[in-house]
A and B are shown apart, each in its own frame.
Chain A
Amino acid sequence: MSDVAAEPAPQQRPDDIKAVPVKHPLRWVMAVLVAVLAADAVWSAASNPRFQWGIFGDFFFDSRIFHGLQITLELTVLAMAIGILLGIVLAVMRLSPNPLISGGASFYVWIFRGTPVLVQILLWNYIGALYPEISLGVPFGGPDLVSVSANSLITPFVAGMLALGLNEGAYMAEIVRAGILSVDEGQGEASQALGMTRLQTMRRIVLPQAMRVIVPPTGNETISMLKTSSLVSVIALADLTYSAQLIYSTNYKTIQLLLVISVWYLIFTTILSVGQYYLERRFGRGSMRGQALTPLQRLRLTVFPRHEGGGAL
């Protein structure tokens, strides 16, 4: 290899550039303005005696509020679980080549998306009027195997959970379907060519890739569900909102209690947003060459610029 031309000689690395950064005087003016306005808002709320912050503090950790919070969280989790499972089943049904199966799923979505969820909650609560006995047995009025009275099975909690979950299923079906359709057709083809069944292909190849499209709107749905669940106060189910209503109907501290539950809702929507962010990162796996830094890592880099984010790249 002696007759090969000499490699280009490495150049001397010049010194790092040291330049004077561009100044942004207007940005500073805006920042000061925003800070002043925010401070004024806090001051006006803190110094206004009509807010009665002492009462806010008294009720923030009230055991009835806590119990309501627990009901709200349980409702949210269970309704979303029903919604997601139902959504997957409905989405797969909707993509079926059998028109009866896909038609059935479309019909479900039409009904549950086309009527107000508040009405659905009320209807589930009054289901006992339509079907006093709920039974499992032979179809078309054949003999029953098990039978229970509707009022003991469909408590207000169950009615709320079913109404919210079944309604959510209709929305989740559309979200999951969009996710499945976003996956390249070649993926299913490659998987089938390897001898995987349609079910295996869906479970192992298509759904995991659809997740990237499914997770963000599902996070929004969960946050939305946390707040929508407050509608169950119409069936006298003591969730966070209804618990507050019960308290202020006797002591008339209406505004303070509404502020208490607003802060609780905010706390949990914030937690959910953070969870959503990390879930999205997880399902972005393999789709990017390197992952963007988390806000925490970015903050650490800003504060300790020498640290290079602990070699996270």
Chain B
Amino acid sequence: MSTPMVLAEGVHKRFGRLEVLRGISLEVQPGQVMCMLGPSGSGKSTFLRCINHLEKIEAGRLSVDGELVGYRQEGDRLHELREADVVRKRAEIGMVFQRFNLFPHMTALQNVCEAPVQVRGVPREQARERGAELLARVGLGHRLSAYPSQLSGGQQQRVAIARALAMDPKLMLFDEPTSALDPELVGEVLDVMRGLAADGMTMIVVSHEIGFAREVADTMVFIDEGLVVESGPPEQVISAPQHERTRAFLSKVL
């Protein structure tokens, strides 16, 4: 079996006295799509942020593509990573946020080119070409010079996806990418994500779009109070949940 893209074993995370993650264990194979659902405050965003080194975990093991997140192992001692190393690892993971978080002072194309130029040192001209290509791929080839405030929510989220793709990530994290969108705009974003999955991108998607999960996801996990309550193929989790809590939650979102 190949190295899992994401491997979590008993991951714990605390904010002060609040235990947000209380031992998350899961595995995502390269090329797979995992959908994650759970009630508000269950720790889904926090878990994604841990994968992307935006939070430090306190116990357990979390690795991406075979490398520990946040630490370096020497013998049986762990050393904290320096900023330069953290930054390098983050650049290989794409993240898409609920509220898009596009840079408002830059055009769509500048948003997409910023990180390749600043982080990877890609020549500006080459980055612009690639950026235009990516924007065309998410259906925005005609809005290169629009500022975020001139775009609809769905268009902004598609720019945000193109911006993440510009770094050639080996893993994409989506944190409720469609829950800030008007219902008629959800479809265009899901279409782009469907395309990514079909191209073999490894993805973890926090979303309550059950139809999308059923169609695209390889596995589905249900998280509650910082623990994985249930996991398996989407069909099984949705149609034949084993746990009372999963059933109760699904009856509310379905």
Q: Please list the residues of chain A having a beta carbon within 8 angstroms of any beta carbon in chain B.
A: 184, 186-187, 189-198, 200, 204-205, 208-209, 285-289
| Sample of 10 more A-B contacts, CB < 8 Å, known A209-B103, A289-B149 | A189-B101, A190-B97, A193-B94, A194-B164, A195-B88, A196-B114, A204-B114, A204-B118, A209-B104, A288-B149
User: Could you mark each residue 60-81 of chain B with 1 if its beta carbon is under 8 Å from any beta carbon of chain A, else 0?
Assistant: 0000000000000000000000
Asked if B212 is at the interface (CB within 8 A of a chain A CB), the reply is no
Instruction: Please tell me if the beta carbons of A287 and B104 are within 8 angstroms of each other in the complex.
Output: yes
> Please, which residues of chain B bring their CB within 8 A of the CB of A204?
114, 118
How far apart sit A200 and B102, CA to CA, in the bound complex (Å)?
Answer: 16
Chain B interface residue count: which class? 20 to 34
> Please, which residues of chain A bring their CB within 8 A of the CB of B52?
193
State the majority secondary structure of interface residues on A: helix
> Please, which residues of chain B bring their CB within 8 A of the CB of A287?
104-105, 149
Q: Which residue of B lies closest to A186 (CB)?
A: B101
> Please, which residues of chain A bring their CB within 8 A of the CB of B105?
208-209, 285-287
Contact of A196 (CB < 8 Å), options: B101, B118, B148: B118
Instruction: Please tell me if the beta carbons of B97 and A197 are within 8 angstroms of each other in the complex.
Output: no
> Please, which residues of chain B bring their CB within 8 A of the CB of A193?
52, 54, 90, 93-95, 164
Q: Which residue of B lies closest to A285 (CB)?
A: B105
Instruction: Please tell me if the beta carbons of B147 and A192 are within 8 angstroms of each other in the complex.
Output: no
Instruction: Please tell me if the beta carbons of A196 and B87 are within 8 angstroms of each other in the complex.
Output: yes
Instruction: Please tell me if the beta carbons of A195 and B91 are within 8 angstroms of each other in the complex.
Output: yes
> Please, which residues of chain B bring their CB within 8 A of the CB of A288?
149
Instruction: Please tell me if the beta carbons of A197 and B104 are within 8 angstroms of each other in the complex.
Output: no
> Please, which residues of chain A bring their CB within 8 A of the CB of B92?
195
Closest beta carbon of chain B to A279's beta carbon, Å: 14
Instruction: Please tell me if the beta carbons of B115 and A195 are within 8 angstroms of each other in the complex.
Output: yes
> Please, which residues of chain A bring their CB within 8 A of the CB of B115?
194-196
> Please, which residues of chain A bring their CB within 8 A of the CB of B107?
286
Closest beta carbon of chain B to A98's beta carbon, Å: 14
> Please, which residues of chain A bring their CB within 8 A of the CB of B101?
184, 186-187, 189-190
Instruction: Please tell me if the beta carbons of B104 and A194 are within 8 angstroms of each other in the complex.
Output: no
How far apart sit A232 and B83, CA to CA, in the bound complex (Å)?
Answer: 46
Known: A186-B99, A189-B97, A287-B104. A194 touches B83 (CB 8 A): no
Asked if B106 is at the interface (CB within 8 A of a chain A CB), the reply is yes
Asked if B126 is at the interface (CB within 8 A of a chain A CB), the reply is no
> Please, which residues of chain B bring their CB within 8 A of the CB of A205?
103
> Please, which residues of chain B bring their CB within 8 A of the CB of A189?
54, 97, 101
> Please, which residues of chain A bring their CB within 8 A of the CB of B12?
none
How far apart sit A154 and B26, CA to CA, in the bound complex (Å)?
Answer: 67
Instruction: Please tell me if the beta carbons of A186 and B118 are within 8 angstroms of each other in the complex.
Output: no
Instruction: Please tell me if the beta carbons of A286 and B149 are within 8 angstroms of each other in the complex.
Output: yes
Instruction: Please tell me if the beta carbons of B119 and A195 are within 8 angstroms of each other in the complex.
Output: yes
Instruction: Please tell me if the beta carbons of B54 and A194 are within 8 angstroms of each other in the complex.
Output: no
Instruction: Please tell me if the beta carbons of A190 and B103 are within 8 angstroms of each other in the complex.
Output: yes
Contact of B87 (CB < 8 Å), options: A186, A187, A197, A286: A197
Closest beta carbon of chain A to B215's beta carbon, Å: 27
Asked if B152 is at the interface (CB within 8 A of a chain A CB), the reply is no
Which 3 A-B residue pairings sit nearest by Cβ, starting from the closest?
Answer: A195-B91, A190-B101, A194-B115
Asked if B158 is at the interface (CB within 8 A of a chain A CB), the reply is no
> Please, which residues of chain A bring their CB within 8 A of the CB of B147?
285-286
Q: Which residue of B lies closest to A195 (CB)?
A: B91
Instruction: Please tell me if the beta carbons of A187 and B103 are within 8 angstroms of each other in the complex.
Output: yes
Asked if B167 is at the interface (CB within 8 A of a chain A CB), the reply is yes
Q: Tell which of A187, A191, A194, A208 has the most Cβ of chain B within 10 Å.
A: A194
How far apart sit A208 and B106, CA to CA, in the bound complex (Å)?
Answer: 10
How far apart sit A193 and B118, CA to CA, in the bound complex (Å)?
Answer: 13
Q: Which residue of A lies closest to B107 (CB)?
A: A286
> Please, which residues of chain B bring their CB within 8 A of the CB of A190?
95, 97, 101-103, 160
Asked if B128 is at the interface (CB within 8 A of a chain A CB), the reply is no
Instruction: Please tell me if the beta carbons of B97 and A186 are within 8 angstroms of each other in the complex.
Output: yes
Asked if B179 is at the interface (CB within 8 A of a chain A CB), the reply is no
Contact of A194 (CB < 8 Å), options: B91, B106, B149: B91
How far apart sit A203 and B54, CA to CA, in the bound complex (Å)?
Answer: 20
Asked if B236 is at the interface (CB within 8 A of a chain A CB), the reply is no
User: Could you mark each residue 114-129 of chain B with 1 if its beta carbon is under 8 Å from any beta carbon of chain A, else 0?
Assistant: 1100110000000000
Asked if B13 is at the interface (CB within 8 A of a chain A CB), the reply is no
> Please, which residues of chain B bring their CB within 8 A of the CB of A209?
103-105
29 example contacts (A-B, Cβ-Cβ < 8 A) are as follows: A186-B97, A187-B101, A189-B97, A190-B103, A192-B90, A193-B52, A193-B90, A193-B95, A194-B90, A194-B114, A194-B163, A194-B167, A195-B90, A195-B91, A195-B115, A196-B114, A196-B118, A197-B83, A197-B84, A197-B87, A198-B83, A204-B118, A209-B103, A285-B147, A286-B107, A286-B148, A287-B104, A287-B105, A287-B149
Q: Tell which of B94, B101, B148, B164 has the most Cβ of chain A within 10 Å.
A: B101
Closest beta carbon of chain B to A282's beta carbon, Å: 11
From 137 to 174 in chain B, residues with beta carbon under 8 angstroms from any chain A beta carbon are 147-150, 160, 163-164, 167
Instruction: Please tell me if the beta carbons of A286 and B106 are within 8 angstroms of each other in the complex.
Output: yes
Known: A287-B104, A288-B149. A194 touches B97 (CB 8 A): no
Closest beta carbon of chain A to B108's beta carbon, Å: 11
